[in-house]
Amino acid sequence: MAGLLLLALSALAGCGQKETVPISQLIASDTQNPELLEAFGDRLDFLSHDRALMAKEMRASGFELKNRGVGCGAWELPENPKRTRAFVQFCEAENGSVVYTRYGISRKSMTYD
């Protein structure tokens, strides 16, 4: 009986944690919308608990910090080979977390003449 309870608790504990893909891998991938946006949102949710980790991953992924104000700012992804556009607007909370006010990511459609 105790074994079944432990198994059930282990299963429930795993349900709350969703594996996310690092932003650099998302940008390098061929994932298209809307799956790209969903994966980006999942990763931002994961990073929202630690603003230092978020800043480190954003910089490592090629994002530039723009429009830095008091406690708020925006990360933007400059032109890149994958033709991906992305931005994240955020505000920092006192507890060290990040609250996202707006974000988006998409691939530019490529046309040929």
Please report whether residue 37 resides in a domain.
yes
Please report whether residue 112 resides in a domain.
no
Q: What is the pLDDT of residues 21-49, one digit of tens each?
A: 999 999 999 888 889 999 999 999 999 99
Please report whether residue 5 resides in a domain.
no
The whole model's pTM is what? 0.76
For residue 18, give the DSSP letter. -
* Helix ranges restricted to H, 16-81: 23-28, 35-47, 51-60
Give the count of domains, the chain.
1
Task: Decide if pLDDT at 96 tops 60.
Answer: yes
**Burial class of residue 37 (count of CB atoms within 10 Å of its CB; 0-12, 13-18, 19+):** middle
Q: Distance between CA 73 and CA 66 in Å, rounded?
A: 6
